[in-house]
């Protein structure tokens, strides 16, 4: 019998993390859950740990360490606290693959630690490659580590490339639903509310990524991520709006042929594929029926109204730490919007201002990324 695959889930209480646990629950003979981590949601982390019995858990919020430890001491589960503990526990010998589903910049350092410990990466934390794509891809290459994408769009590209890695890509098309404000004018965007922005038409996601989807920054971050995952130039990446979210992305090869990966919107499929590649396992997920979708439509992304998408392309072309700056500004401005301190359209305005103010370092070290992230956040917070 094949050895079970030791799995760590970083960010187990979030949308991707909870769905990953649903996948693992279906295949107990294939996976051995070793580690769960959470930021602040101690109650759900405790509930997950008692159900799935991992070897260890980490709560990043050190103030909740005693609560988690007391709840799990009788279950013989090791409990740690703090962000450094996450970086250390991913190095455990029993772990084969690390699913990085933490939100935002916080995922960078643990992912880097896992790569240096030669763990396979199932990447759901796009900010890791957005912030430090050059460093991450270099470390992955030097350590012989594979990075398997979990984002539905990048998983689609990866699936289209299986068996085609020797063939040159001419272009990739990342599909976007358009979010709740598809077709809105710049004027109409000034009047949108937080409740509207948090209501995505097709996907059930966490608050931060849902706002990013509404502003199309999420697609911009995916453009940057795609550059590093598939070794592409900016001009080889395009975004098309596809409201039905059935075609998850497409690859065009240099002979003109195109491949697309299709299916109903369900994040469990890309999660499972990243954990089981190169194998496909039988599922009971709902099946797509063409008769239910007699029309699949596509339209051009409007970068003049959704300026965050254009900012992402600009940062990608600038190289260096520009994308790190953009990500930091965006994390801060989205938080300010969710806290009712700025309007929806202010998110992109602040992102653009911060991008123009922060010095771009073209050959950054890890310390440079850390410094630029800190400076960018400070400048962003000074704008409200």
Q: Which residue in 61, 241, 148 sits closest to 157, CA to CA? A: 148
> Which residues, 6+ apart, have CB-to-CB distance to 166 below 8 Å?
none
Whether residue 104 sits in one domain with residue 57: yes
Provide the CA 258 distance to its chain's centre, in angstroms. 25
pLDDT for 384: 87
pLDDT for 89: 98
Section 200-222 average pLDDT:
88
Whether residue 302 sits in one domain with residue 172: yes
Rounded CA-CA distance 212/330 in Å is 9
Whether residue 196 sits in one domain with residue 52: no
Whether residue 106 sits in one domain with residue 44: yes
* Model confidence pLDDT, tens digit, residues 29-76: 999 999 999 999 999 999 999 999 999 999 999 999 999 999 999 999
Report the number of distinct structural domains present in the chain.
Answer: 3
pLDDT for 380: 98
Rounded CA-CA distance 131/108 in Å is 8
Whether residue 313 sits in one domain with residue 270: yes
* Model confidence pLDDT, tens digit, residues 366-379: 999 999 999 999 99
Q: State yes or no: pLDDT of 317 exceeds 60.
A: yes
Whether residue 305 sits in one domain with residue 167: yes
> Which residues, 6+ apart, have CB-to-CB distance to 117 below 8 Å?
90, 91, 95
Categorize the per-residue pLDDT at 2 as very low, low, confident or very high, splitting at 50, 70 and 90: confident
Domain of 49: which CATH number? 3.40.50.720
CA-based max dimension of the chain:
61
Rounded CA-CA distance 38/338 in Å is 21
pLDDT for 1: 56
Place of tokens 């992955």: 140
25 near 45, Cβ under 8 Å?
Answer: no
Contacts 24+ apart (CB under 8 A), 136-142: 136/111, 136/112, 136/228, 137/228, 139/112, 139/115, 140/115
Whether residue 41 sits in one domain with residue 63: yes
pLDDT for 71: 97
Whether residue 219 sits in one domain with residue 312: yes
Name the β-bridge partners of 241.
176, 299
Whether residue 251 sits in one domain with residue 169: yes
Section 278-303 average pLDDT:
96
Categorize the per-residue pLDDT at 206 as very low, low, confident or very high, splitting at 50, 70 and 90: confident
pLDDT for 201: 72
* Model confidence pLDDT, tens digit, residues 131-164: 999 999 999 999 999 999 999 999 999 999 999 9
* Model confidence pLDDT, tens digit, residues 10-21: 999 999 999 999
pLDDT for 81: 98
> Which residues, 6+ apart, have CB-to-CB distance to 373 below 8 Å?
105, 131, 324, 325, 327, 328
Domain of 372: which CATH number? 1.10.1740.10
- Average pLDDT, whole number, for the chain? 96
Among 294, 318, 342, which residue terminates a domain? 318
Domain, as residue range, for 45: 5-149
Whether residue 304 sits in one domain with residue 196: yes
Section 86-95 average pLDDT:
98
Q: State yes or no: pLDDT of 209 exceeds 60.
A: yes
Whether residue 120 sits in one domain with residue 166: no
Whether residue 165 sits in one domain with residue 143: no
Among 91, 121, 149, which residue terminates a domain? 149
Among 130, 149, 168, which residue terminates a domain? 149
3-class DSSP assignment, residue 66: helix
């Amino acid at each position: 019998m094949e050895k079970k695959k030791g799995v760590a889930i970083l960010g187990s209480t979030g949308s991707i993390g909870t769905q990953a646990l649903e996948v693992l629950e279906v295949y107990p003979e294939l996976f051995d859950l070793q580690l769960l981590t959470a930021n602040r949601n101690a109650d759900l982390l405790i509930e997950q740990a008692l159900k799935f019995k991992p070897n260890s858990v980490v709560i990043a919020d050190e103030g909740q360490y005693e609560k988690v430890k007391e709840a799990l001491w009788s279950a013989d589960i090791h409990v740690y606290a703090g962000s450094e503990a996450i970086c250390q526990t991913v190095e455990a010998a029993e772990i084969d693959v690390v699913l990085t589903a933490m939100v935002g910049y916080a995922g960078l350092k643990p992912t880097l630690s896992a790569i240096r410990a030669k763990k396979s990466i199932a990447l759901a934390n796009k900010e890791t490659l957005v912030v430090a794509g050059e460093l991450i891809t270099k470390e992955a290459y030097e350590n012989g580590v594979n990075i398997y994408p979990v984002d539905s769009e990048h998983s689609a590209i990866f699936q289209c490339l299986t068996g085609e890695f020797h063939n040159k890509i001419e272009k990739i098309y990342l599909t976007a639903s358009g979010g709740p404000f598809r077709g809105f004018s710049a004027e109409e965007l000034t009047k949108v509310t937080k409740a509207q922005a948090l209501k995505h038409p097709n996907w059930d996601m966490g608050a931060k990524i849902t706002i990013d989807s509404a502003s199309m920054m999420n697609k911009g971050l995916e453009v940057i991520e795609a550059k590093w995952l598939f070794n592409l130039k900016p001009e080889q990446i395009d975004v098309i709006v596809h409201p039905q979210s059935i075609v998850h992305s497409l690859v065009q090869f240099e002979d003109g042929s195109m491949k697309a990966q299709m299916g109903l919107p369900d994040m469990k499929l890309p999660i499972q594929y990243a954990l089981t590649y190169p194998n496909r396992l039988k599922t009971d997920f709902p099946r797509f029926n063409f008769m239910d979708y007699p029309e699949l439509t596509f339209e051009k992304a409007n970068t003049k109204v959704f300026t965050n998408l254009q900012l992402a392309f600009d940062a990608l072309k600038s190289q260096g730490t520009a994308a790190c700056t953009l990500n930091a500004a965006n994390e801060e401005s989205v938080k300010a919007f969710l806290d009712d301190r700025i309007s929806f359209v202010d998110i992109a305005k602040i992102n653009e201002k911060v991008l123009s103010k922060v010095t771009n370092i073209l050959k950054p070290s890890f310390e440079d990324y850390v410094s630029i992230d800190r400076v960018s956040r400070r400048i962003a917070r000074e704008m409200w």
